[in-house]
Amino acid sequence: MSTPFELTMKVRDYECDMEGIVNNAVYQNYLEHTRHEMILSRGISFAELVEQQIHVVVARADIRYKSPLRSRDEFVVTCSARVEGLKIFFDQEVRQLPDRKLCVQATFTCAALVNGRLAAIPELTNKLIDVAD
Amino acid sequence: MSTPFELTMKVRDYECDMEGIVNNAVYQNYLEHTRHEMILSRGISFAELVEQQIHVVVARADIRYKSPLRSRDEFVVTCSARVEGLKIFFDQEVRQLPDRKLCVQATFTCAALVNGRLAAIPELTNKLIDVAD
Amino acid sequence: MSTPFELTMKVRDYECDMEGIVNNAVYQNYLEHTRHEMILSRGISFAELVEQQIHVVVARADIRYKSPLRSRDEFVVTCSARVEGLKIFFDQEVRQLPDRKLCVQATFTCAALVNGRLAAIPELTNKLIDVAD
Amino acid sequence: MSTPFELTMKVRDYECDMEGIVNNAVYQNYLEHTRHEMILSRGISFAELVEQQIHVVVARADIRYKSPLRSRDEFVVTCSARVEGLKIFFDQEVRQLPDRKLCVQATFTCAALVNGRLAAIPELTNKLIDVAD
C-alpha cells in the first residue's frame, strides 16, 4: 500500500447546484484530479505509458456520500493505492477543512490495458505503491 | 420493482476528454438527469417534497464502466427503482445505440431525510415503484 | 448568409447553480453543441479537416444574457453563419419554449488555421453558407 | 478603477477536450471563480446583498481567445473593476505561467438589480473600486 497523497482545494461556486451544495458528479472531478496529481507526483508519465500503448482505465467507481460541501468550503482529497493481481485500487477521501470532517469516501478500481488486454505493468505499479515497503 | 424508464441522449463534444471518450464523471450527469426525469414522469414534485422538508439524497453511487461512449454517439439511459426498508435503490444502465451495447451499469442508493433524519415516505416510494405490481 | 439551423434541448438540473438558474458558462456548452451539430448537418467532416491540418478555432465569443433559463425549461438554440474575409461569424440565439422568449444572443468569431496560419477554406465556408444563395 | 486582483490555478485534466486543450466554456468558469473571489476579498457579502434583494447579474461576456491552455498548465487570472453609470465592468485576463503569456482577455458587463430593476448600489461599487483612489 502506498503513502497517502493529499491535495487541498476550494469549492468554486459553479460547482454547486440548486440546493447550494456541490453536485454529486463534481466530487468525481475532485477525485480524478487528485489521482492524476498523485500519479504525476510518483514520476509516472502518462505520455510515456500511452507511447507504449498502455491505457489505465477506471473499471469501477464506488462512492459513498457522507456530508455535503458548500460554496467556498476548503477541503483535502486523499489518495492511496494498492495492487491486487491485475487490479489497482485507489482509496480516496474528501475531508472538509479545517476539522477534516469526512464528506466522501470512494474506491476506484483501475486496470492497465495493453492493446486492449489486461496486463501487469510493474514499472507503473511499483512506482505507485512505494516498493520500499 | 418499477417499470424501467428510458431516456435517449446524444454525446456532446464538450463532454469528451483528451482521449476522445466521455469523461467518467459525465456519466453521473447522464444518470442523475435520467433519475430526475423518471421521478417527474411518476408525478412526484420535488417542490412539494421540499415544502414538506423532505430531501432525497444519494448515499452511494456504485458505477461500473464497461465500454466508453465517443463524440456524437447516441445512447439510452435506463432507470428502475426498488425499495428496501428506508433505502431506495435506482438500478441504471447506459447503452449505446443502435445495438444497445452496455457502456455503464450503476446502482444509486438513496434515502429520504425529514428534518435531517431518515424517514419512510410512502407517498414518494409508492409512486416510484408502481404499487399496482 | 446561411439558412438558420435549430436544435431543441432541455435544461438538466446539474446545469443550474445556487440561484436555481442555468450557470452563465453552460450557455457556451449549448451554443458550441449547436454549432457542431450545424456543421455536421452541412456535411462537413471535422475528421477530414483535421487530416488536412485544418483547425477551426474560436477567436471571440460575445454573449449577451437577456433572461435566465431554469430547471427543466425547454429551449431552442439557433445558429446561422456568415463569412467576411478570413473570418467566419456564427450568430446564435437561445430562446425559451414554448413562446421563444429571447434568453441569450451571441456572436462567435471563428477562423480556420492551416499549419497555425489563417487561411481561406472555400470547401468549408461554401458548405456553411449555402452557396446557392 | 480597482487594484487588480489575481488568482493562480492549474488546469485539471477533465477540463480539457478532445483536442487536448481547455474547452472554451471552461475559461468562463475560471473567470467567474476569480470575480467571486475578488468580490469576497473586498469584504462584500453575497448573502447580505441577497437579503436586501440585490442581485448582481452578468449582462454581457466578451471573451477573446488568444492562446490555449493545456493539461496541467499553471495560470493566473486577473480581475479589475470599473463603474460607469449603472454598469460594473470587470476586465479580466488569463495568463499562462511562468511567462504570463496571454491566453484569454475578457470583459464582463454586470449590473445590480433591486426587485428586478437596475439600481446604483454605492456600498457595493465603492468596495469594488477602491474609493481611496
Residue C70, C-beta contacts closer than 8 angstroms, at least 6 positions apart: C11, C16, C20, C21, C22
Q: Which chain A residue shows the shortest CA-CA distance from B29?
A: A25
Q: What is the pLDDT of residue A133?
A: 45
Q: Which chain C residue shows the shortest CA-CA distance from D57?
A: C65
Q: In the predicted model, what is the mean pLDDT of residues C58-66?
A: 98
**Would you tell me the crossing angle of helices C24-41 and D24-41 to the nearest 10 degrees?**
170
Q: In the predicted model, what is the mean pLDDT of residues B17-31?
A: 94
CA distances from B57 to A2, A62, B42, B68 (A): 33, 16, 18, 27
What would the DSSP string read from start to end of C60-86? Answer: EEEEEE-S--BTT-EEEEEEEEEEETT
- Does the pLDDT of residue A37 top 50, yes or no? yes
Nearest CA of chain A to the CA of C129: how many Å?
A: 36
* Helix or strand holding residue B36 (H, E): helix B24-41
Report d(CA D120, CA B48) in Å as an integer.
37
Residue in D18, D59, D121, C70 with CA at minimum distance from that of residue A17: C70
* Helix or strand holding residue D110 (H, E): strand D101-114
Q: Note the helical H segments in chain D.
A: 24-41, 46-51, 122-128
Query: pLDDT of A99-111, one tens digit each?
Result: 999 999 999 999 9
* Helix or strand holding residue C40 (H, E): helix C24-41
Report d(CA B12, CA A90) in Å as an integer.
29
Between chain C and chain D, the number of residue pairs with CB atoms below 8 A apart is: 49
CA D67 to chain centre: 19
Query: pLDDT of A44-54, one tens digit each?
Result: 877 778 778 88
Query: pLDDT of D57-109, one tens digit each?
Result: 999 999 999 999 999 999 999 999 999 999 999 999 999 999 999 999 999 99
In this complex, the chains that touch A, judged by 3 or more CB pairs closer than 8 A, are B, C, D
Between chain A and chain B, the number of residue pairs with CB atoms below 8 A apart is: 49
What would the DSSP string read from start to end of A11-77? Answer: --GGGB-TTSBB-HHHHHHHHHHHHHHHHHHTT--HHHHHHTTEEEEEEEEEEEE-S--BTT-EEEE
Chain D environment of B16 (Cβ under 8 Å) = 17-18
Instruction: Name the band, by pLDDT with cuts 50, 70 and 90, for residue B20.
Output: confident
Whether the pTM exceeds 0.80: the reply is yes
In degrees, to the nearest 5, what angle opens at C-alpha D42 toward C-alphas D37 and D46? Answer: 65
The verdict on whether omega for the bond into residue C4 sits within 30 degrees of 0, i.e. cis, is no
- Does the pLDDT of residue B13 top 60, yes or no? yes
Chain C environment of D54 (Cβ under 8 Å) = none
Which residue's entry shows cell 460541501? A69
Can you tell me the ipTM of this complex? 0.93
Which residue's entry shows cell 477521501? A93
Contact between A130 and A4 under an 8 Å Cβ cutoff? The reply is: no
